[in-house]
């Protein structure tokens, strides 16, 4: 299987595993994330951890954040660090797709057009002949490509609405589900979790549960 997709799914499950206080499952999940060596999955879990600390131990979260940034200075020259953050052709794909998008930035090029215009386009194949894949590896960028600024604006508006509702209903359950939501948002930056069956279904269910908590007004 694909270790990146596995890492994404495990990352999405981890906040609820920790919420359920299943130490063994949490340990296995963390080991799996390390083995998959997926930078986005690892960063998404760290982001969720910082998210949780920010609303429970704010000063500690700020201290950890500063220390992490300081640690990046000596680590950025290490080979393992560079391999972990290797963009693997993403910038090239985004550059080519932008050449098509800039003529229809408001409405995009239409749903389902990425595969036709990028994946099956002979001209794109000549430019990106050194890549074995042509996926966007960025859900926000693919939404922009397909539906333009209008579609992306609707998605951003929905995310802001979820965030606003969360701030009105902060408790253990919404923190756990909110952590999953944060992980999903981070995964969408450099992967395609909404185009993989298990992760997309899980994200929809988690978001529904989170919105359900808001609607019920649980505190």
Give the per-residue pLDDT at 22. Answer: 94
Q: Tell me the two tokens of residue 207.
A: 């978001």
Q: In terms of residue numbers, what domain contains 135?
A: 3-216
Q: Alpha-carbon distance 208 to 151, whole Å?
A: 20
Give the per-residue pLDDT at 33. Answer: 94
Q: Tell me the two tokens of residue 138.
A: 């960025």
Give the per-residue pLDDT at 105. Answer: 94
Residue indicated by tokens 């194949």: 125
Give the per-residue pLDDT at 2. Answer: 85
What string of pLDDT tens digits covers the 219 residues of the chain?
A: 688 899 999 999 999 999 999 999 999 999 999 999 888 999 999 999 999 999 999 999 999 989 888 877 776 666 655 565 666 778 888 999 999 999 899 999 999 899 889 988 888 888 887 777 788 899 999 999 999 999 999 999 999 999 999 999 899 999 999 999 999 999 999 899 998 999 999 999 999 988 887 665 554
Q: Alpha-carbon distance 62 to 49, whole Å?
A: 12
CA 119 from centroid of its chain's CA atoms: 22
**CA dihedral for 148, 154, 157, 163, sign (positive or negative):** negative
pTM higher than 0.95, yes or no? no
Q: Give the count of domains, the chain.
A: 1
Give the per-residue pLDDT at 219. Answer: 41
Residue indicated by tokens 């990028």: 118
Q: Tell me the two tokens of residue 208.
A: 């529904």
Distances (CA, A) of 144 to 90, 98, 101, 102, 165: 16, 10, 8, 10, 25
In terms of Cα–Cα distance, which of 214, 210, 187 is closest to 200? 187
Give the per-residue pLDDT at 12. Answer: 96
Which are the contacts of 18, defined by CB distance < 8 A and separation ≥ 6? 26, 176
């Amino acid at each position: 299987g694909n270790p990146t997709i596995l890492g994404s799914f495990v990352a999405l499950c981890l906040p609820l595993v920790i919420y359920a206080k299943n130490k063994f499952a949490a340990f296995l999940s963390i080991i799996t994330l390390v083995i998959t060596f997926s930078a986005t999955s690892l960063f998404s879990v760290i982001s969720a951890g910082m998210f949780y600390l920010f609303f429970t131990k704010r000063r500690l979260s700020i201290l950890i954040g500063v220390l992490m940034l300081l640690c990046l200075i000596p680590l950025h020259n290490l080979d393992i660090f560079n391999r972990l953050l290797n963009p693997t052709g993403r910038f090239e794909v985004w550059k080519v797709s932008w050449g098509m998008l800039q003529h229809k930035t408001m409405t995009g090029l239409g749903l389902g057009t990425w595969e036709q215009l990028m994946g099956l386009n002979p001209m794109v194949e000549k430019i990106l002949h050194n890549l074995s894949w042509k996926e966007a590896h960025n859900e926000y960028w693919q939404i922009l490509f397909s539906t333009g600024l209008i579609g992306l604006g609707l998605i951003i508006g929905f995310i802001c609405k979820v965030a606003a509702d969360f701030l009105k209903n902060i408790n253990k359950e919404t923190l756990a589900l909110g952590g999953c939501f944060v992980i999903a948002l981070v995964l969408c930056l450099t992967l395609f979790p909404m185009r993989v069956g298990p992760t997309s279904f899980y994200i929809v269910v988690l978001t529904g549960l989170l919105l359900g908590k808001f609607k019920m007004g649980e505190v």
